[in-house]
Amino acid sequence: MSEFKPILAIVIPCFNEELCVNSTAEKLLEILRILSDKNKISEKSYLYFVDDGSTDKTWQIIEELHNANPLVKGLKFIRNFGNQKALIAGYEGVRDIGCDCAVSIDADLQQDEFAIETFVDKFTSGADIVSGIRNSRDTDTFFKKTSAVMFYKLMNMLGAKIPLNHSDYRLVSKRALDIMEMYPEKYLFLRGFFNDVGLKTEYVNFDVKPRMAGESKFNFVKLMGLALNGITSFSVVPLRIVSILGFIMAFVSFLIGLETIFEKIFLHNTPNGWATTILLLCFFGGIQICCLGVIGEYVGQVYREVKARPRYIKETELK
Ligand code: UDP
Ligand code: MG
């Protein structure tokens, strides 16, 4: 057995998690202790909380934890930037501080923290990315369950290979973090990115628990935003579908035009076909608006990226 003991950084995005932070820190520090006792990780391994602009006592608690134990580190955003930005900031933060691998986990510890040991084992035996896969979605509402499954199926159909039931619970190596730095896009969709880079990836199944305390910080609008960003940043297939659809529509219109002229000249029965006219009008009108919407989403994506605003703004950092 080699003597290599990687420094593991655990990244924890938090948004108004005052009810969870303390016990989460305690449990994760315990995991670090267990793994370092087993000589699987360095005793310099640490936790890195990213406070995504909480308005409650979350940051205060993180500061107290840091003062009591320097292995608890943290970063505070100036305002809420969303879970993906908090994760990216976490990965960038631990890369700067220094680590050999980083695991991201939710502040409510819905993911089974004991799977981290398996993550580390797979990393030690050569994987650059270890993706956590949920065993079931029993803790999710029916709506979230079905919409999530539909989203992952759609993403795969569109060409972005994301495993079903993957979440942001994963281990990434320093190498993967270095590669992430080479992707300048501001709205990086992590689930797509890490499955796309081509690094050696392993999968680990884990159980999902109910939320420890507090309420879910994700609502329908946020989930929709995440899904649309995932699609528009990882696939241009919808645009291609729109062009193909446009081509088919043009062809069909041409045939209908021919038929109309034929009726007018040879059959002299043009007043007929009122229903057909209305139907076609609605049909094509609908498709056109829909296509405009799809194109609009991509224009929006380009617009956001072109502005190149910072991904997030730091307020304080505890290293
Ligand atoms: N989160 C965040 N910023 C947000 C929303 C959520 O950093 O704007 C964090 C949240 O604190 C938690 C993780 O993202 O650690 C997952 O959120 P949550 O558990 O509320 O989502 P769910 O499990 O219901 O999908
Ligand atoms: Mg949760």
Whether the predicted pLDDT of 55 surpasses 60: yes
Instruction: Give φ, ψ of 110 to 5 degrees.
Output: -70, -30
Verify whether ligand 1 is closer than 6 Å to residue 227 (CB atom). Answer: no
What confidence score (pLDDT) does residue 238 get?
A: 84
Q: What percent of the chain has pLDDT over 90?
A: 52
What confidence score (pLDDT) does residue 143 get?
A: 84
Whether the predicted pLDDT of 306 surpasses 60: yes
Q: How confident is the model at residue 47 (pLDDT cuts 50, 70, 90)?
A: very high
| pLDDT tens track for 247-289 | 788 788 778 878 877 877 887 766 667 667 877 887 788 778 8
Instruction: Identify residues whose C-beta is under 5 A from ligand 2, the ion.
Output: 106, 108, 110
pTM for this model (two decimals): 0.84
Verify whether ligand 1 is closer than 6 Å to residue 112 (CB atom). Answer: no
Q: Where are the alpha helices (DSSP H) in the chain?
A: 21-37, 58-68, 83-97, 116-124, 142-157, 174-181, 190-196, 220-234, 237-262, 274-307
Instruction: Give φ, ψ of 173 to 5 degrees.
Output: -85, 165
Ligand 1 atom nearest to 107, measured from its CA? 15
Whether the predicted pLDDT of 1 surpasses 80: no
Residue 12 CA, ligand 2 centroid: distance in Å = 12
Q: Considering the domain 8-219+311-318 in this protein, what is its CATH number?
A: 3.90.550.10
Verify whether ligand 1 is closer than 6 Å to residue 188 (CB atom). Answer: no
Boundaries of every domain in the chain: 8-219+311-318, 237-307
Ligand 1 atom nearest to 167, measured from its CA? 25
Q: Which residue has the higher pLDDT, 308 or 44?
A: 44
Verify whether ligand 1 is closer than 6 Å to residue 14 (CB atom). Answer: yes
Residue of 15, 134, 221, 312 best suited for mutating to test ligand 1, as the one with most atoms within 8 Å of CB: 15
Verify whether ligand 1 is closer than 6 Å to residue 216 (CB atom). Answer: yes
What confidence score (pLDDT) does residue 160 get?
A: 78
Ligand 1 atom nearest to 144, measured from its CA? 25
CA distance 73 to 210: 26
Q: Where are the alpha helices (DSSP H) in 132-236?
A: 142-157, 174-181, 190-196, 220-234
Atom 16 in ligand 1: residue holding the nearest Cα: 106
Verify whether ligand 1 is closer than 6 Å to residue 217 (CB atom). Answer: yes
Average pLDDT on 152-159 reads 85
